[in-house]
């Protein structure tokens, strides 16, 4: 008799949640349980009720307030969604003995480093977004043993208006795109990250993992590659100061735990971007 793994994706309407839903939907080994604003992670009653009703084996927390400027304007809302939401899911996971996969961000680092940051480097968030996500990490660690925290960077993908959409829309309107040359990390496809998360669902892996696409670039270089692959002139990208974006200057993640354990390998960021744009243009991400 086959055993089906019940996977609850909280925040299923976002870019990563959408990528995971597409992936799990076509795999008969999983029973997909998806929620978005119908189950608000910051509401402990709603989270507990959904967990008790459906009893998932694995909970993937993709929910979050990710708009950096909104987090600065509304710090309590940022902590409510990004920290309390993580707490509520951790409590529910522990009660029903589910594995929790908590999604986090490179913004837990302040941008002052000059070399790639691994899982053993101390986090020092500088933005309210980074602080609230790091608070969520700490609550997950404290409240449930069966957890994996996955940090990624510059995530893009179908399901929500993202950086790729913004760059292409600006280019189509003939507008200049102003982006920093000195803000460095690694663009990560939601589809590429979803592949690693699918691996984690069935693996006996716990703890903290960095999971960004390989390689590094600036925001401006990322935009130029998007435009080049989409047939636009990259000359529409002009330099801007990093502090205009409210994002940390240097948050390049080193996937050290993934590498030294030998469990998985993320693709190069250019390769992943090319695959995403090809599928996007072919209408395969609708």
Q: Identify the structural domains of the chain with CATH numbers, from first to last.
A: 5-161+186-215+251-269 (3.40.50.720)
Q: For residues 173 and 121, which has the higher predicted lDDT (pLDDT)?
A: 121
Q: For residues 242 and 265, which has the higher predicted lDDT (pLDDT)?
A: 265
Mean pLDDT score, 262-284: 92
Range in 33-42, 51-60, 94-103, 163-172 the model is least confident about? 163-172
Catalytic residue among 79, 129, 134, 276: 129
Q: For residues 178 and 16, which has the higher predicted lDDT (pLDDT)?
A: 16
State the chain's mean pLDDT as an integer: 93
Cα within 13 Å of Cα(79), Cβ side: 8
Q: What's residue 244's pLDDT?
A: 61
The partner residues of 151 in beta bridges, in order of sequence, read 104, 210
Q: For residues 240 and 18, which has the higher predicted lDDT (pLDDT)?
A: 18
Mean pLDDT score, 237-258: 85
Q: What's residue 158's pLDDT?
A: 81
Catalytic, 129? Answer: yes
CA 154 centroid distance within chain = 8
Residue pair 9/20 in contact by the 8 Å Cβ criterion: yes
For the chain, percent of residues with pLDDT exceeding 90? 83
Q: What's residue 280's pLDDT?
A: 87
Mean pLDDT score, 112-120: 97
What is the per-residue DSSP string for the chain? ---PEEEEEETTTSHHHHHHHHHHHT-TTEEEEEESTTS-TT-HHHHHHHHHHH--SEEEE------HHHHHH-HHHHHIIIIIHHHHHHHHHHHHT-EEEEEEEGGGS-S--SS-B-TTSPP---SHHHHHHHHHHHHHHHH-SSEEEEEE-SEE-TTS--HHHHHHHHHHTT--EEEESS-EE--EEHHHHHHHHHHHHHS---EEEE---BS-EEHHHHHHHHHHHTT--GGGEEEE-GGGGTS-SB-PBP-HHHHHHTS--PPBHHHHHHHHHHHHHTTTT-
Q: Is the pLDDT of residue 140 over 60?
A: yes
Q: Alpha-carbon distance 130 to 105, whole Å? A: 7
How does residue 239 score in pLDDT terms, banded at 50, 70 and 90?
A: confident
Q: Is the pLDDT of residue 286 over 80?
A: no
Q: What's residue 2's pLDDT?
A: 46
How does residue 75 score in pLDDT terms, banded at 50, 70 and 90?
A: very high
Q: Is the pLDDT of residue 128 over 90?
A: yes
How does residue 243 score in pLDDT terms, banded at 50, 70 and 90?
A: low
Range in 41-55, 184-198, 223-237 the model is least confident about? 223-237
Q: What's residue 159's pLDDT?
A: 66
């Amino acid at each position: 008799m086959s055993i089906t793994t019940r996977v609850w994706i909280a925040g299923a309407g976002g870019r990563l949640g959408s990528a995971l839903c597409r992936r799990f939907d076509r795999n008969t080994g999983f029973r997909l349980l998806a929620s978005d604003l119908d189950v608000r992670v910051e509401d402990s009653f709603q989270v507990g009720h959904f967990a008790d009703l459906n009893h998932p084996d694995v909970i993937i927390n993709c929910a979050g307030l990710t708009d950096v400027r909104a987090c600065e304007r509304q710090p309590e809302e940022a902590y409510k969604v990004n920290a309390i939401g993580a707490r509520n899911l951790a409590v529910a996971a522990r009660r029903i003995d589910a594995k929790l996969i908590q999604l986090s961000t490179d913004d837990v680092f302040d941008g002052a480093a000059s070399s790639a940051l691994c899982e053993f480097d101390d986090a020092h968030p500088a933005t309210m977004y980074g602080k609230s996500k790091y608070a969520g990490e700490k609550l997950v660690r404290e409240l449930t043993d069966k957890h994996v925290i996955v940090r990624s960077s510059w995530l893009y993908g179908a399901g929500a208006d993202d950086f790729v959409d913004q760059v292409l829309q600006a280019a189509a309107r003939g507008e200049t795109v102003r982006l920093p040359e000195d803000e460095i990390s690694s663009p990560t496809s939601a589809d590429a990250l979803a592949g690693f998360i699918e691996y984690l669902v069935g693996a006996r892996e716990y703890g903290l993992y960095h999971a960004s696409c390989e390689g590094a670039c600036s925001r401006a270089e990322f935009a130029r590659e998007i435009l080049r692959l989409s047939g636009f002139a990259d000359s529409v990208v002009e330099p801007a100061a990093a502090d205009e974006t409210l994002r940390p200057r240097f948050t390049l993640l080193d996937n050290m735990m993934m590498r030294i354990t030998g469990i998985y390998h993320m693709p190069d960021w250019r390769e992943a971007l090319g695959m995403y744009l090809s599928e996007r243009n072919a209408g395969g991400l609708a």
